[in-house]
Structure 1
Amino acid sequence: MRKHCLLIIGMIFMCRLVNAQEIIKSQPLEMQDSIVYQTKFAYLSIDKRDLDEYLVNLDTLLKNHDYDPKLFQNIQFAQLTKEDVKQHYETTMEIWNSVKENPLNFRYNEIALFWMENEKILLPYINEVLSRFLSEGKVRVFEKFPKKIVAPYIQVVIEVVNNKPYRVFKLKDGKDILRETDIYLEHFMNI
């Protein structure tokens, strides 16, 4: 009987956690210059000023924490040493300062080597901060189908993986915009 009650309580808790969702309404954003990030079902428009502010603030944070790779949730930083983080960040800032006036486009499924010597080096940092920007309403979301219509709102749903909550950002029709697990967890493929 006790096991049965615990099982029911656990199921109720998990149902509430799984069904927990937040709605973020789209705000009219004034963007002078933006980065386009394309996902499977949406185009995301990120203001370059927001990314620039993030990267500048990251400089102070990294220096204060001696370039500790544990500051990042993005799995791509997990195996780096402090020296690697410092070198990668400095290279990224050099490239960012040389390309930030150019049109920038990225795709969620784009294969980009971590140490690229072009604008693709920004991708791990964009992936790191994208869920925060989405939850703060700093990203303009356009649905791909029908063609480039501004999404009136996005849903945030919690998914639990290995007893840790991760956010899933969805369009109003339930299609995924971004899954934090795709960025923060290592994925294995059985062949």
Structure 2
Amino acid sequence: MFVLDGAAMVVLGANLLQGTPGRIGERGETSSVLAEKQLCLVPWDRLRAGGGNASGAGEDLRMLLFAEGDADDGAYERLDNEVESQGDLFQCAPAVVSVIVAAVAEGSIPAANLASVLDVLGRVVAGYPDRDEVAAGNGDLREQCHAEAMKGYWSLLRVAVERDSFNAWRVARDVVSALDEEHSRRILK
């Protein structure tokens, strides 16, 4: 859970007033109510990512979740090193999971991007804290990520059973298996 101070609440309010969720943005991206609000709740500039603060991770996540087709402008590749790098998780990972889970629950991720989004989620829930994060007192990042992902477990199962032409269902099966192998195996057989 992310607790915001008064200054962060002012920024959040300003961000929410700048645009109405569900609108079409300047670059043609669509946004959703829940995922957009969750994205705005996170103080990205106060969280660590693989390359420094997580401001870039928040913007890349926005592009990946809401841009149509190839309009994600390399966001998927950048998120690979910002949130998780070679299995190492950074402080922003639980926040990324919370936003992804909100978007999956809403069903607002463009079909062409869903498999990529779920791949990011799968790598995060399979990761372990980077040693610098452990030294900074964030040794429970994996558990935090799992707790956030479990909030969307049933939505992820829904994706896992609805076959799509982009094979997001296959990636969703891997994610739910990583979260609860025994239960997901019984549900998905």
More helix by share: 2
Give the TM-score normalised by the residue count of structure 2: 0.30
Flag the structure with larger Rg: 1
Give the TM-score normalised by the residue count of structure 1: 0.30
The structure whose RCO (Cα within 8 Å, separation 6+) is larger is 1
More strand by share: 1
